[in-house]
């Protein structure tokens, strides 16, 4: 063993200092990159001790997207690129004569589905199975709340999913004929998971697991970016784009369209101060008929959800989707799919894409829709169906 003398150590130290000074720009870049990685890690782990668990599991994404938040135009271009890849999987010919609709988050309320739970044995068994997956008594939370707890995404999403599938089980007992005639399924955002279970592509327990993980990831992501979502009624798409340009210019922001509900009903999200100004401008300058701030805690269905993709992707990797017995319409493009190989990519894209429920419903009407049920809490799909069809068509709420 060779011992390093103090003189040798001093010589080495001086040499290292000289190298750093001569290559300061490279060294500085290396240090800064390390600092950026540390800050990025803090964003995902949370600065507080109680929030130190990672937002997602180990990253292993299937495409080139990183966690950087895209602008609205960049996100639009990315979505167009992905949808181009999905074209070969779309179903051109299908019937929507008998369609089942499923609601999304925001439709929850205390004691939803309680009557079905008390009167339908198969439905009650579903709640018991869901409780085992979740690790708590689901009906106890639904029945007793409080509502603030039920609004939490990681609770509301598996709750609404379970209530919806329980309603489907009840319908199978009470109206087997309607179930046998079923041609098509669709859901609003979260409701797409219920639609996939109805189509027998997603087993129930795995659906509970997925909606829990999805809700948890979205809730954690919402804590990173405080956003406000507003529904606007009475403006054309052109007016919406002009409104967004005005707000972006004045507030130096980047407003996202997060839902296309009807030709004159949209959901927009942005920073709270920007959305306050947008709300005022929509009424005073653009003469919107109605505006409402939605009870949504984050920038859902915008690129502000990109950090949640990893957690959802890791959860999806644990699931094997079966062949769809009934086609399901995707929220991202309004097209019908029945190939299980594309479902995971559609669900991932849905997380950061605007919900195109208007296109979904237009395609339902175009393919011969006659009758259907909205299975679960709320009437979001049936109300929008009336609007899009100009009150010519309806769906029966069923819970």
How far apart (Å, rounded) are the C-alpha atoms in residues 378 and 295?
15
Closest CA to 381 of 329, 343, 303: 329
How far apart (Å, rounded) are the C-alpha atoms in residues 110 and 149?
10
Residues 335-357 as b/e (b if ≥16 CB within 10 A, e otherwise) read: bbbbbbebbbbbbbbbbbbbbbb
16 pLDDT exceeds 50? no
User: The domain 226-293: what is its CATH number?
Assistant: 3.30.70.250
Query: Quick one: CATH architecture of 79-223+301-398?
Result: 3-Layer(aba) Sandwich (3.40)
How far apart (Å, rounded) are the C-alpha atoms in residues 91 and 72?
29
**For position 85, what pLDDT does the model report?**
96
Q: Span 332-353, mean pLDDT?
A: 97
**For position 4, what pLDDT does the model report?**
52
Report pLDDT digits (tens) over 91-149. 999 999 999 999 999 899 999 999 999 999 999 999 999 999 999 999 999 999 999 99
H or E segment to which residue 240 belongs? helix 237-251
Q: Span 223-238, mean pLDDT?
A: 96
The full set of domain ranges for the chain reads 79-223+301-398, 226-293
**For position 297, what pLDDT does the model report?**
76
361 touches 218 (CB < 8 A): no
Q: What are phi and psi of 55, to 5 degrees?
A: -60, -40
Residues 92-114 as b/e (b if ≥16 CB within 10 A, e otherwise) read: eebebbbbbbbbbbbbbeeebbe
pLDDT band at 296 (very low <50, low <70, confident <90, very high): confident
**For position 251, what pLDDT does the model report?**
97
**For position 67, what pLDDT does the model report?**
57
Whether a cis peptide bond, with omega within 30° of 0, leads into 42 is: no
pLDDT band at 55 (very low <50, low <70, confident <90, very high): very low
Closest CA to 154 of 58, 221, 102: 221
Report pLDDT digits (tens) over 152-204. 999 999 999 999 999 999 999 999 999 999 999 999 999 999 999 999 999 99
**For position 58, what pLDDT does the model report?**
34
299 pLDDT exceeds 80? yes
**For position 109, what pLDDT does the model report?**
96
Average pLDDT, the chain: 87
**For position 83, what pLDDT does the model report?**
96
Question: The tokens of 29 are what?
Answer: 């870049």
Q: Is the pTM of this model over 0.85?
A: no
DSSP secondary structure letter of residue 322: P
User: Helix 191-198 to helix 204-224 angle, to the nearest 10 degrees?
Assistant: 170
How far apart (Å, rounded) are the C-alpha atoms in residues 115 and 112?
8
343 touches 195 (CB < 8 A): no
How far apart (Å, rounded) are the C-alpha atoms in residues 86 and 81?
9
17 touches 269 (CB < 8 A): no
Report pLDDT digits (tens) over 355-391. 999 999 999 999 999 999 999 999 999 999 999 999 9
Cα R_g (the chain), whole angstroms? 25
Question: The tokens of 32 are what?
Answer: 């800064």
How far apart (Å, rounded) are the C-alpha atoms in residues 207 and 139?
17
H or E segment to which residue 42 belongs? helix 24-45
46 pLDDT exceeds 60? no
Report pLDDT digits (tens) over 256-266. 999 999 999 99
Strands 228-233 and 290-293: antiparallel
29 pLDDT exceeds 70? no
Return all residues near 354 (Cβ < 8 A) that are at least 6 apart. 256, 257, 258, 259, 260, 267, 301, 302
- In the chain, the percentage of residues whose pLDDT exceeds 70 is 83
Burial label, 28 (beta-carbon count in 10 A; 0-12, 13-18, 19+): exposed
Rounded to 10 degrees, the C-alpha dihedral 106/326/359/91 comes to 150
Q: Locate the DSSP E strands across the chain.
A: 90-91, 98-102, 184-187, 228-233, 256-262, 265-270, 290-293, 328-329, 336-337, 371-375, 396-398
Task: Look at phi and psi of residue 108 and say left if phi exceeds 0, alpha if psi is from -120 to 50, else beta.
Answer: beta
Task: Dump the DSSP string for 68-120.
Answer: SPPPHHHHHHHHHHHHHHHGGGEESS---SEEEEE--TT---TTTTHHHHHH-
């Amino acid at each position: 063993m060779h011992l390093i003398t103090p003189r040798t150590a001093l010589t080495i130290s001086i040499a290292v200092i000289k190298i750093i000074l001569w290559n300061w720009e490279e060294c500085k870049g290396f240090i800064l990159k390390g600092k950026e990685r540390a800050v990025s890690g803090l964003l995902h782990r949370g600065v507080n001790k109680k929030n130190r668990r990672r937002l997602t599991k180990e990253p292993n994404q299937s495409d080139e997207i990183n966690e950087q938040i895209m602008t609205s135009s960049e996100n639009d271009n990315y979505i167009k690129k992905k949808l181009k890849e999905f074209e070969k999987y779309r179903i051109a010919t299908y019937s929507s004569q008998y369609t089942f609709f499923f609601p999304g988050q925001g439709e929850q309320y205390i004691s939803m589905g309680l009557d079905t739970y008390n009167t339908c044995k198969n439905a009650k068994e579903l709640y018991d199975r869901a409780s085992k997956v979740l690790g708590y008594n689901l009906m106890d939370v639904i029945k007793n709340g409080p509502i603030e707890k039920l609004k939490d995404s990681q609770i509301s999403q598996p709750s609404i999913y379970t209530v919806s599938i329980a309603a489907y089980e009840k319908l199978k007992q009470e109206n087997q004929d309607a179930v046998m005639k079923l041609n098509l399924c669709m859901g609003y955002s979260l409701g797409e998971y219920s639609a996939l279970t109805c189509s027998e592509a997603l087993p129930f327990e795995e659906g509970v697991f997925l909606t829990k993980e999805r809700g948890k990831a979205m809730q954690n992501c919402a804590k990173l970016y405080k956003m406000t979502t507003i529904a606007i009624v009475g403006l054309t798409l052109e007016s919406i784009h002009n409104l967004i340009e005005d707000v972006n210019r004045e507030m130096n922001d980047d407003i996202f369209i997060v839902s296309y509900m009807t030709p004159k009903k949209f959901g927009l999200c942005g920073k709270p101060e920007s959305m306050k100004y947008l709300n005022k401008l929509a009424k005073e300058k653009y003469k919107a008929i109605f505006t409402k701030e939605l009870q949504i805690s984050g920038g859902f269905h915008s690129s502000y959800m990109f950090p949640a993709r990893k957690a959802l992707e890791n959860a999806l990797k644990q699931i094997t989707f079966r062949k769809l017995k009934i086609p399901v319409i995707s929220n991202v493009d309004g097209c019908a799919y029945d190939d299980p190989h594309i479902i995971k990519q559609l669900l991932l894209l849905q997380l950061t894409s605007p919900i195109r429920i208007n296109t979904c419903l237009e395609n339902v009407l175009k393919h011969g829709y006659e009758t259907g049920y909205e299975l679960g809490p709320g009437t979001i799909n049936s109300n929008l169906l009336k609007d899009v069809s100009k009150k010519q068509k309806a769906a029966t709420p069923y819970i």
